[in-house]
């Protein structure tokens, strides 16, 4: 047997056939469950999106059923909060979410119920941590609300349908994205025949890193540090010269602007048209333009454009979420994709077990 190829970071390696989403990095196209992301965000509900991803492997998951059962599961997850020990006291939102979700037990024999359970709990725990962060007590769910609207209200107290729609667009946009690091993590764990909660806890850990889902908070910090469009060039030049990465720029797969950046930028513009303040939009656009130009000069052969995190930061900020919650909100959307991939991986029944090349000393 020939020696297997070694690809650092598994770049270009296909590890699964998937019916869930396709990322075309050259053309900047993202297809989720058969539709372009541009045709999903702002047009379908979170529950409908969950149905489209989950029904590929779990036929009984109608959008109405998902909505009803998600509402009930949010209430049950809220009732669990007193049993979570000090999980929600963690300083970091993702540490809190990881610890809180790890308290869950898979509920019942049906995978659909398990998907609903971890999805509901992720939203409730993220919002509860945000409420505590702001000095309040966790706000109880409203079982009759849509999942996006309810997370927004529980986390910020905001009831505006326009803002809820903006947040729903966000959750739909980030729901799935090929074999990204957290999804791969979830699939590796699922491939060992472990349980869904373990897969999701592992995925949260992978998502936390700033090279994956931890970038939007730092994007906002960068915008704050720059302050005015006129300062963008000087600030960004200094960062690049110091060898630091510009958060929200660059992507492993995309060689053009991430299509999700455009979708989320549109969602911010929609808020603006509805009279909702979008304090950092103009500055963000200016910074993006300057960063793109400087990175093009520095890496002429490696296009580095805005990724999803860049406008995530601007959108979630305009919706009133605290920046320390941004990565947890990413998890609230991506958990739907993780669940779908876990089901897909289980259907293959194949353990994921690559190899390493030993480069250490050998016994003489």
Give the residues lining the site for ligand COA (CB under 6 A). Answer: 210-211, 215, 245-252, 295, 299, 302, 304, 307-309
Task: Tell the smallest beta-carbon distance from residue 226 to ligand COA (Å).
Answer: 15
Task: Tell the smallest beta-carbon distance from residue 257 to ligand COA (Å).
Answer: 12
Catalytic residues: 251, 309
259-273 and 281-298 helices cross at what angle (nearest 10)? 160
Compute the distance between CA of residue 118 and CA of residue 132 in angstroms, rounded to an integer: 21
Compute the distance between CA of residue 69 and CA of residue 249 in angstroms, rounded to an integer: 38
Q: Tally helices (H) and strands (E) across the chain.
A: 14, 3
Give percent helix, percent strand, percent coil of the chain, each to the nearest 5.
Answer: 60, 5, 40
82 or 300: whose CB is closer to ligand COA?
300
149 or 247: whose CB is closer to ligand COA?
247
Task: Tell the smallest beta-carbon distance from residue 336 to ligand COA (Å).
Answer: 18
Compute the distance between CA of residue 30 and CA of residue 173 in angstroms, rounded to an integer: 10
111-133 and 196-208 helices cross at what angle (nearest 10)? 40
Q: What is the DSSP string of 82-121?
A: GGSTTGGG-SSHHHHHHHHHTT----SS-HHHHHHHHHHH
Task: Tell the smallest beta-carbon distance from residue 74 to ligand COA (Å).
Answer: 28
Pairing of strands 21-24, 35-36: unpaired
26 or 86: whose CB is closer to ligand COA?
26
Taking the CA atoms of the chain, what radius of gyration do you get in angstroms?
20
Backbone φ/ψ region at 178: left (φ over 0), alpha (ψ -120 to 50), beta: left
195 or 292: whose CB is closer to ligand COA?
292
Instruction: Determine contact, residues 330/312, Cβ cutoff 8 Å.
Output: yes
108 or 293: whose CB is closer to ligand COA?
293
Question: Whole-angstrom distance between the N-terminal and C-terminal Cα of the chain?
Answer: 26
Task: Tell the smallest beta-carbon distance from residue 132 to ligand COA (Å).
Answer: 27
């Amino acid at each position: 047997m020939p020696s297997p190829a070694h690809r650092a970071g598994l770049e270009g390696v296909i590890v699964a056939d998937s019916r869930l989403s396709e990322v075309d990095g050259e053309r900047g196209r993202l297809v989720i469950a058969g539709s372009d992301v541009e045709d999903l965000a702002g047009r379908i509900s979170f529950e409908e999106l969950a149905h489209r991803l989950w029904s590929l492997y779990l036929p009984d998951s109608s959008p109405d059923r998902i909505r009803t059962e998600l509402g009930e599961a949010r209430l049950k997850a809220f009732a669990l909060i007193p049993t979570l020990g000090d999980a929600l006291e963690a300083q970091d939102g993702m540490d809190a979410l990881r610890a809180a979700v790890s308290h869950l037990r898979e509920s019942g024999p049906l995978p659909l119920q398990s998907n609903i359970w971890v999805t509901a709990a992720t939203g409730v725990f993220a919002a509860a941590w945000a409420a505590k962060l702001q000095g309040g007590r966790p706000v109880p769910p409203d079982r009759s609300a849509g999942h996006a609207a309810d997370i927004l209200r529980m986390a910020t107290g905001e009831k505006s349908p326009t803002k809820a729609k903006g947040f729903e667009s966000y959750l739909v946009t980030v729901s799935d994205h090929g074999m990204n690091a957290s999804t791969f993590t979830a699939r590796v764990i699922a491939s060992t025949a472990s349980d869904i909660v373990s897969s999701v806890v592992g995925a949260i850990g992978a998502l936390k890193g700033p090279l994956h889902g931890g970038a939007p908070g730092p994007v906002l910090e960068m915008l704050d540090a720059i302050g005015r469009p006129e300062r963008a060039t000087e600030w960004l030049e200094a960062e690049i010269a110091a060898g630091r990465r510009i958060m929200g720029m660059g992507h492993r797969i995309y060689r053009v602007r991430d299509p999700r950046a455009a979708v989320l930028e549109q969602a911010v513009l929609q808020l603006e048209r509805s009279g909702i303040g979008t304090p950092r939009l103009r500055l963000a656009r200016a910074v993006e333009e300057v960063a793109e130009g400087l990175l093009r000069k520095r890496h002429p052969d490696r296009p580095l454009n805005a990724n999803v995190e860049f406008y995530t930061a601007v959108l979630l900020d305009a919706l009133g979420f605290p920046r320390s919650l941004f990565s947890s909100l990413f998890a609230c959307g991506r958990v739907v994709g993780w669940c779908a991939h876990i089901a897909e991986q289980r259907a293959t029944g194949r353990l994921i077990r690559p190899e390493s090349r030993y480069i250490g000393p050998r016994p003489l």
